[in-house]
Structures are given as structure tokens and as C-alpha cells.
Amino acid sequence: MDLSLMNKEQKKAIQSTEGPLLIMAGAGSGKTRVLTHRVAYLLEDRDVPARNILAITFTNKAAREMRERVSALITEGTQDMWISTFHSMCVRILRSNINHLGYENSFSILDPTDQKSVVKDILKRRNLDPKQHNPRNIIGFISDKKNQLIRPEQSIAEAAAYPDTLYSEMYHDYQQILYRNSALDFDDLIMLTIELFDKEPKVLEYYQNRFQYIHVDEYQDTNHAQYRLITQLAAKYRNICVVGDSDQSIYKFRGADIANILNFEDDYPEAVVIKLEQNYRSSKNILDAANAVIENNTERKPKALRTARDGGPKLQNIVADSERGEAEEVVGNILDLAKKYSHSEMAILYRTNAQSRAMEDTFVKSNIPYKMVGGIKFYDRKEIKDLMSYLKVVLNPNDDISFERIINTPKRGIGPKTVDKLKAHGQATGISIFEGIKESDFIGIPKTAVVKLMGLVDLLEKLAQKSKFITITELVDEVLESTGYIEVLESEKTIEARSRIENLDEFKTVTREFDRDNEISDELLFAFLSDMALVSDQDGIEDDSGVTMMTMHASKGLEFKVVFIVGLEEGIFPSRRVIYDDKELEEERRLMYVALTRAEDHLFLSRANSRMIFGKTESNMQSRFLSEIPEELVEGGGAFAQDDFSSTGSAPKKRTPKRSRVVTNNSGVSFAIGDKVSHKKFGDGIISAIKGEGDSQELDIIFTKVGVKRLLANFAPIEKKE
């Protein structure tokens, strides 16, 4: 294989094929190129059979891109490789082996809406108010336990206080319902695969022998369950190559554990470590800014990105009066840059989706095309959820969660009392709603309802038979026509109904693409539903017609010629809830590093003097991350100098601030920017700025509970905290 275009470190990473390998790949350092060439090198130069190679990524889009790149390098003999996401890999393993755990092989995969329905049902049974017990919080609790591989029984035993005791019991209820329905949520896919390997050593040994060369992309984003799964698979041959960057670990809120990559050499003492520090994406000014920011973190593997792209435009500073003004400034710059760049080459990044509103309004008024990542999802629309539920029940009739959704959709005269009787019968006898319908004559359901229910069962059984011999598109047409779903929408003759029909037609675009790439078989419907269940936000970023608007988290792995980072204010970014926690603050700084390194040519850093967010107007200091960027990299010089921050303990600054003010009050206590303080009324806070002179000196303090307050230094009832 020709590796002449690779730099020295890339070439070494490709050719180091035996034993554990850690590739510390900085942003824009060509890691995907290295991974794909390494796989191709194993196939072509090392004669490794394709079936012995496994490559795991985090999105379907990344997996698809990797497979296409490998296929372009090696035209034959690549079919037996597994290149997939963690969840897709586990679906394939469980599809063949989940019967060992007592589940049906035609198991369903719950989406977040399905999970919410299950939790709401549990709350109803326990006579608990969803307003007091937010289903989202309960689902998060369950997800966290599963990612830590904690089963319900262990969670109950370890729960020390309310609400953990209640939520642990609800976790037990939740898991029992899923088991009865032969249904899995996303976290189950990994947890149950590990459970399968623990219970059936021969199954584990089969996959260890199959996957003798394992590659894991974005290793810094793995959680405990993913780490355990990879450790199991790699235990026999230890030919494990992990690629990642500790400076881009930004998913702690999803359970990602940065220790997995930082401790790789402890897990594999014989590991080879290679750093990819040559950046092929960003200009030198952008890269120097990113390096200066991330150097303030301590929890990292030191490295320094370099680039051959000297100079480049300096970073641009936007300071607006309000969020509306900020949006107008951004739009003005986009209009100027549109002479050189297409809209699709530009992106606006923000910390939370709530910040997008003002920007979106201004885009609409300016007639600038845009696309939003992470907004209302196509697959969450009612008509699409209804259709997907029908398909799930056709595959797995014991899926009560989906069955309950379609039992009276479209309306067929089956009321909630009938459904409640079927559910109660199922809980008493341990059977599904589908099976319970066949016994409905004997459980007090009116004859007219029994006839309708049996008609539905007959319809679903016929669809299940047909599904084995037709395409997914043909099956969708059969479902929509035979259930009367389309007929009902057409009869409504409303704008909303017409929109729903158009969405169902658009869904057929998805099915036709799937049918084009897959042959008719007994496995076709399972494969399609699995693909749909595993779609992520980034998988939908195909449209190239407008400016991209997304959160910084969603931008990871992407790149744009022009990037605007907006909302760079204390309390927004970094978020107020993290600035007193050093570890959380370091994670926010890594997020800033990710955002900075998405830009290739132009980078705009924007903030507003006041901003309305969540219905409340706030006036916050500029983000401390701006103060960490050297002034010489910014257009106009010291644009970021006015609100310097000291470190809050996470790391000593590598650069001496231009200004470092200290004030001593009447009691002889000295205060400096960055000091943590406590106020009798306002609670804990941190000093963000010192202003004025003499007796008029004032302290700007960001308090956890009440936000920013300006107090006279001499008279404020505050104490310094160590």
C-alpha cells in the first residue's frame, strides 16, 4: 500500500498493527484517514481476513464514511468486515444470541418517546404525579445505572435515600415491562451484550476469535459499559487500536469517562503511543488560540497542534448590546462573507439550543437559508411514530408499547376501558396485549369490540406474512392502505392532514433508499427498524443548502470554512452550574476547544452585554475563555483584556494576564479576580471583575443562586473561601 502521502506519525500508526496502540489524534489531524488506511493495510499488506477486523465509531454517518473509504482503497474482499457503531454491533450480536437471556430474537428497540410512555405508565400505576417526578429525570437515572452496568436489584440495594430508592424500584418495574415486551432501550443493547458474554463464555470466545483486530474511534467518548465491552472483546488477542483526544472529551453528561483514554497505558502496559499533532484543517491563528485555551486544563495528555497554514485572518470579536443585536451582527458578517463562501460552508455554534431563537428569527427576516441540527426531528412527528409502531408490531406482536399506540389509530371504536382490561389481563397472566386479544371473549370485553380487535389481529398477522416477501416501501403502502390510515387523513381535508400525508410520502424516500441497498428476506424488516432506531442527529446532516446552526456538542467531528461561536458570557459559557467545579469547568473548556477547532479560515467570537434567555434578561461578564486567548491573535489587539479571570483551581495559567487587580477592604482582607467568596444573603460566588478606585472600588461577583451582583469592596458582607 502506498503511504508516501502520510506524515511520519501517521505512517507509524498505520504500520503498528500488533498489540495495543493508542493514537492521540488532535483536531483535524487526519485520524479517519489513518484509521481507514490502517484497516486497508491489514487487509492488503498483512493478509488479515476481513472477517477478523472490527472498527467501531459513534455515528452511522462516520461508519458509512469509513466503509466507503476502505472500499475505495481495497476494491475486493471487504464485505465481511464489521464497521459500525457500538449499538449497531450489539444489535447484530444480540439478534443471533439474545435467546440465551430469555428474549425473543425479533426484539424491539425503544426510542425516547417509547421510554417516556413506559415511565408514565409506571407513574400512573404507582399513583405518582409526573409533574413531581419528571419522566425525563427517571429515564436519565435508569440510563446512568445501565451505563454503570448496575442492574435493578443492585440499584435497590445500594439506594440510600429518596428519590433514589423510589427511582430504583421504578427501574425494576421498567426493566420487567421491557422484558415482557421483548423490548430493549439503547442502553440495554450494550448492557445485555456484556451480560450475554458473562453468561455464555463460548459466545464471547466466538467473537474474540472473530475480531482479532479491533479499532475504536473517539475513545475519549466511551462510557463504562462501552469500555467493559471492548475490554472483553480484546482480552484474548490484545490487538486493540484506540483513537481519540483527551482534549475533545465533552460528553460527561452522557456518561463518557475521560479516564478510559487517560488510563489506556495502565490497562495495556505494553501499548505503543503515537501522537498526531499535525493539523490539516485550521489556520495558524485559529490553532494557536485553541492551544492557548486548552493549556489551562490539567486533566489531559499534553500535545501541541501545529499547522502548515501560516497566519490566516485574525479572530474577529463581536460585542453586541443584546441577543438581537448579536444575531444582526452575525448576519451582517455572513452577508459579507457570502461573496467568497457558500452558506453551507458556514456554521453558528452555541452552548444550548435555547440560544438559537433570536438567531433563527433574524435569519428568517434576512432571507438567509439555514438548517438546524437538533430541532424537532422528523421521526418524532405523530404520523411517523404511528407508522413505525405498526411496523414494530408487525415484526414483534408482543411489543405492547407500540401496540397500545396503534390499537385505536386510526379510530376503530376501541376505547381506553377495553385497553385497560387487556393490559390488566396481560399483567395477571404474563401475556401480551396481542395474545390477550385472542382471549378477549372471556375477560369482559363487549362483543362489538371483540370483533374489531380480532379484525386488527387478523390484519397484523397477514402483514407479518407479507413482510417476508415484499420491500419495506411496499410494506409501508400496505400498512397505510389496509389500516385505513391514509384514507382517514385524506377525508379530513385540512392543511394539517395534507402536511401529514406529505411527511408519510417523504418517509418513503427513506424506505426506497433502504430497499435499494438491501434484498428481500426474512431479516429485512428487523434490519430496517434497527437502522431507524439507531439514527443520530449528525446522520441527518445531508442538506447543503444553508448556514448550519447547532450546539457545540453536536458540531464535534465536523468542520466549516467560517465559524461563529455565540453567547460567550459567564453563566452561559461556561455555564453557571459548572464554574465552581474544577472538573466540570475543564469539560467546558474542552468544549470551547472543540468549538474553536471546527473553523478552517474565519473564526468569530461573539457575546452580548445583556441577553434574554428562559424569559429572563441577564447581564453577564465576558466568558473567561476569551481571556485565555492571546491578544495578538485577535483583530484590534486587546479586545478580550477587560475582564481577566484567574484560574479557579483547575490549572495555573500559562500566560501572565495584562492586568491583575487586587483590592483590600476595611478589615484588611485582600480580594482578587477568581477568588471564591461567600455572602450572608446571596451564598457562594466567584469574583469576576474589580472596578473603580479608592473607597469606590466595586466587586462584580457571580453568585450560584442569584447571578451577578456588583458590591462595594469595603462594605460587602463577604468572606473569602479557601
Q: Is position 375 annotated in a ligand binding site?
A: no
- Span 447-470, average pLDDT: 94
Is there a domain that residue 324 lies in?
yes
Which is the catalytic residue, given 32, 165, 278, 697?
Answer: 32
Say what percent of the chain tops pLDDT 90: 62
311 and 332 both lie in a single domain: yes
Q: CB–CB of 262/301 below 8 Å?
A: yes
386 and 359 both lie in a single domain: no
Q: Give the best-scoring range by mean pLDDT among 38-42, 529-533, 537-541, 681-685.
A: 38-42
CATH number at 123 reads 1.10.10.160
51 and 200 both lie in a single domain: yes
Is there a domain that residue 288 lies in?
no
Q: What are 153-167's pLDDT values in tens digits? A: 999 999 999 999 999
Task: Please indicate whether residue 288 is annotated as part of the active site.
Answer: no
Q: pLDDT-derived band of residue 643, with 50, 70 and 90 as boundaries?
A: very low
Task: Please indicate whether residue 598 is annotated as part of the active site.
Answer: yes
Which is the catalytic residue, given 248, 418, 483, 511?
Answer: 248
pLDDT, averaged across the chain: 88
Reply yes or no on whether the pLDDT at 76 is more than 90.
no
- pTM listed for this prediction: 0.76
Domain endpoint, select from 577, 609, 636: 636
Task: Please indicate whether residue 31 is annotated as part of the active site.
Answer: yes
Reply yes or no on whether the pLDDT at 641 is more than 70.
no
Domain count, the chain: 5
Q: What are 343-395's pLDDT values in tens digits? A: 999 999 999 877 887 888 788 778 788 888 865 456 678 899 999 999 999 99
400 and 353 both lie in a single domain: no
Q: Is position 29 annotated in a ligand binding site?
A: yes
Q: Give the best-scoring range by mean pLDDT among 63-77, 317-331, 590-604.
A: 590-604
- Span 586-614, average pLDDT: 92
Which is the catalytic residue, given 111, 185, 188, 217?
Answer: 217
Tell me, what's the pLDDT at 695?
64
Q: What are 538-559's pLDDT values in tens digits? A: 555 555 678 999 999 999 989 9
Is there a domain that residue 662 lies in?
no
CATH number at 450 reads 1.10.486.10
Cα–Cα distance measured from residue 222 to residue 258, given in angstroms and rounded to the nearest whole number: 8
Task: Please indicate whether residue 212 is annotated as part of the active site.
Answer: no
Tell me, what's the pLDDT at 542?
53
Tell me, what's the pLDDT at 242?
97
Is 165 strand, coil or helix? helix
- Span 665-684, average pLDDT: 83
Which is the catalytic residue, given 111, 185, 187, 218?
Answer: 218
> Could you write out the three-class secondary structure of 500-555?
HHHHHHHHHHHHHHHHHHCCCCCCHHHHHHHHHHCCCCHHHCCCCCCEEEEEHHHH
601 and 712 both lie in a single domain: no
Q: CB–CB of 303/287 below 8 Å?
A: no
Can you give the residue range of the structural domain that contains 429?
379-534
Cα–Cα distance measured from residue 316 to residue 603, given in angstroms and rounded to the nearest whole number: 6
Q: pLDDT-derived band of residue 507, with 50, 70 and 90 as boundaries?
A: confident
Is there a domain that residue 661 lies in?
no
Is there a domain that residue 232 lies in?
yes
Q: What are 511-522's pLDDT values in tens digits? A: 888 898 899 998
Q: Is position 32 annotated in a ligand binding site?
A: yes
Reply yes or no on whether the pLDDT at 465 is more than 60.
yes
SS3 content of the chain, % helix, strand, coil (to 5): 50, 15, 35
Task: Please indicate whether residue 684 is annotated as part of the active site.
Answer: no
Is there a domain that residue 629 lies in?
yes
409 and 497 both lie in a single domain: yes
Is there a domain that residue 282 lies in?
no
Cα–Cα distance measured from residue 171 to residue 158, given in angstroms and rounded to the nearest whole number: 13
272 and 132 both lie in a single domain: no
Domain endpoint, select from 234, 254, 276: 276
77 and 131 both lie in a single domain: no
Is there a domain that residue 284 lies in?
no
Which is the catalytic residue, given 61, 275, 598, 607?
Answer: 598
- Span 24-52, average pLDDT: 93
Tell me, what's the pLDDT at 642?
44
474 and 530 both lie in a single domain: yes
Q: Is position 26 annotated in a ligand binding site?
A: yes
Tell me, what's the pLDDT at 577?
78
Q: Is position 28 annotated in a ligand binding site?
A: yes
26 and 43 both lie in a single domain: yes
Domain endpoint, select from 122, 155, 181: 181
521 and 558 both lie in a single domain: no
420 and 518 both lie in a single domain: yes
Helix (H) or strand (E) holding 611: strand 611-613
Task: Please indicate whether residue 217 is annotated as part of the active site.
Answer: yes
CATH number at 329 reads 3.40.50.300
Tell me, what's the pLDDT at 365?
77
